[in-house]
């Protein structure tokens, strides 16, 4: 039995029925990892040996357990900007290269309570700033479907390891598409929950009003299972919402008859690859055939999301990253004359080019004389985008768009053109600006490279994403495909 091909749900059932042991599950993924990981470099910190030791402990616990949690013994990878006590959390940056947190993020505490098994910390664009994972200070992660191409970003390592089948699920973070875009590039499912659904405590901040932790999985049902665990109010995060507990798996298997699906014309215009357009519209026709109602809608302000995002996000980043000064923790320059010189050299040597670029953009936007012209205006655009989405949801239940304008691009193809790199997120940033939930689901292939479609819902209505996403997923077999080893 190739356990590495199983979903989280399938593995959980096998463990709960005591048909397999957690150690057997981990051993299967270790064999797959040994073949694939050297080619793709998805992990900054590989913990598979520790995972096997943990799994053997769970083997002995399993025999005496009756009520077995859904994630007990399930291997999960963690993006390396989520704090893990006693395990390095580098943000793929030289400035935090040797930082070991003394605490766990809330999502890690919740996974620990389930008895999950951590397989390692995954590579990312430094401080989650990028769309390709080429901005890591350590190495470039490669797309498992084509080793000459990027896995997307910033959660590229988290998407690549799931896409390659070396772990059944991972956690990523999404500020402007950083879960959904790499999920689309790697042929897996990526969920950005509603802002406030999942605690950000322990997530190293990039842009605090946009960041959200979410799962990357092989199936929509697996995404619902993990969201069940990590969602909830956290007193340590003032932005997390206190909402009634929801079992998101109850949305799985429901009918879609009568559900209104909006198709925003602005997301299918110039700049979209024709084969991606065809694949997403074909998915809409499949859903329509099954009883959903397709409605054309308009989101005209969404076209300004990229411009507004690249003012707001860098502005928040310039503030959040001010804490990395060489005084309290992290890297410190060795040769300096005085305190100001230490600050300057530490940040110059510790941060990469993209992080510096965004800090400068943000500092400029917040500076005296430019705050009203740039930052305040961008916030007004953000409000308009939110209002436009809410108006659309008065007439439709869910919105369907492409996740990306093209399939995964070649390594180095856009690294010297920041504008083209930023446009990789053109279909995802408006969702973060509007604080609504969205999920990317595989919907086809172009030249053996995955295509992703994006489902968007109104705030705190992830259930409908799972209902429609799972229904579509079962009409096709994209989730069953793995890249060649």
The model's pLDDT over 159-215, given as tens digits with 9 standing for 90+, comes to 999 999 999 999 999 999 999 999 999 999 999 999 999 999 999 999 999 999 999
Closest CA to 102 of 78, 83, 80: 83
The model's pLDDT over 111-165, given as tens digits with 9 standing for 90+, comes to 999 999 999 999 999 999 999 999 999 999 999 999 999 999 999 999 999 999 9
Indicate which residue of 79, 110, 192, 458 is catalytic: 79
Strands (E), 105-249: 117-122, 169-174, 189-192, 212-217
The model's pLDDT over 44-81, given as tens digits with 9 standing for 90+, comes to 999 999 999 999 999 999 988 989 999 999 999 999 99
Are 299 and 392 in contact by the 8 Å Cβ rule? The answer is yes
Known catalytic residue at 209: no
Q: How do 75-79 and 169-174 pair as beta strands?
A: parallel
Closest CA to 170 of 187, 185, 189, 153: 189
Helix, coil or strand: residue 117? strand
Indicate which residue of 178, 199, 365, 440 is catalytic: 178
Count of alpha carbons within 13 Å of 353, Cβ hemisphere only? 6
How many angstroms separate the CA atoms of 120 and 58, rounded? 18
Residue 217 pairs in a beta bridge with: 169, 189
**CATH top-level class of 3-259+439-480:** alpha beta
Q: Which residues are within 8 A (CB) of 209 and not within 5 positions of it... i.e. 6 or more apart?
A: 195, 312, 316
Quickly list DSSP for 330-391: S---SS-SSHHHHHHHHHHHHS-HHHHHHHHHHHHHHSTTTIIIIIIHHHHHHHHHHHHHHH
Are 143 and 186 in contact by the 8 Å Cβ rule? The answer is yes
Known catalytic residue at 79: yes
Indicate which residue of 12, 42, 83, 154 is catalytic: 154
Model pTM? 0.97
Known catalytic residue at 178: yes
């Amino acid at each position: 039995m190739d356990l590495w091909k199983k979903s989280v749900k399938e593995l959980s059932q096998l463990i709960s029925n005591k048909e397999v042991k957690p150690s057997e599950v981990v051993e299967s993924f270790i064999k797959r990892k040994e073949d694939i990981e050297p080619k793709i470099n998805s992990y900054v910190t590989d913990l598979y040996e520790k995972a096997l030791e943990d799994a053997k402990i769970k083997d002995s616990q399993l025999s005496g357990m009756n009520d077995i949690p859904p994630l007990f013994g399930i291997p999960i990878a963690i993006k390396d900007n989520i704090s893990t006590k006693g395990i390095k959390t580098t943000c793929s940056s030289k400035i935090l290269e040797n930082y070991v947190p003394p605490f766990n993020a809330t999502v890690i505490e919740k996974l620990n309570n389930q008895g999950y098994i951590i397989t390692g910390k995954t590579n990312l664009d430094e401080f989650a700033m990028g769309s390709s994972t080429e901005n890591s200070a350590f190495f470039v992660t490669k797309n498992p479907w084509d080793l000459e191409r990027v896995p997307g970003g910033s959660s590229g390592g988290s998407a690549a390891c799931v896409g390659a089948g070396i772990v059944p699920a991972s956690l990523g973070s999404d500020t402007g598409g950083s879960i959904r875009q790499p999920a689309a590039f790697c042929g897996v499912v990526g969920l950005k929950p509603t802002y406030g659904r999942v605690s950000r405590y322990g997530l190293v901040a990039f842009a605090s009003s946009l960041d959200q932790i979410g799962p990357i999985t092989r199936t929509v049902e697996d995404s619902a299972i993990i969201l069940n665990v990590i969602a909830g109010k956290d007193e340590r995060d003032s932005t997390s919402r206190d909402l009634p507990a929801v079992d998101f798996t109850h949305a799985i298997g429901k009918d879609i008859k009568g559900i209104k699906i909006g198709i925003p014309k602005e997301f299918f215009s110039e700049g979209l690859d024709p084969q991606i357009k065809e694949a997403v519209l074909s998915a809409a026709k499949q859903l329509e055939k099954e009883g959903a109602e397709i409605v054309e809608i308009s989101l005209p302000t969404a076209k300004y999301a990229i411009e507004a995002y690249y003012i707001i996000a860098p502005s928040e980043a310039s503030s959040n990253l001010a804490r990395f000064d060489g005084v309290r923790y992290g890297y410190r320059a060795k040769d300096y004359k005085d305190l100001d010189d230490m600050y300057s050299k530490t940040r110059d040597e510790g941060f990469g080019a993209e992080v510096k670029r965004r800090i400068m953009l943000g500092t400029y936007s917040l500076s005296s004389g430019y705050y009203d012209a740039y930052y305040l205006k961008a916030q007004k655009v953000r409000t308009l985008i939110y209002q436009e989405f809410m108006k659309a949801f008065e007439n439709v239940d869910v919105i369907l768009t492409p996740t990306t304008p093209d399939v995964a691009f070649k390594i180095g193809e856009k690294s010297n053109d920041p504008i083209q790199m930023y446009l990789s997120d053109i279909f995802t940033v408006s969702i973060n600006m509007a604080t609504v939930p969205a999920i990317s689901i595989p919907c086809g292939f172009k030249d053996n490279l995955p295509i992703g479609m994006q489902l968007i819902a109104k705030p705190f209505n992830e259930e409908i994403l799972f209902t429609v996403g799972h229904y579509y997923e079962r009409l096709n077999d994209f989730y069953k495909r793995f890249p060649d080893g």
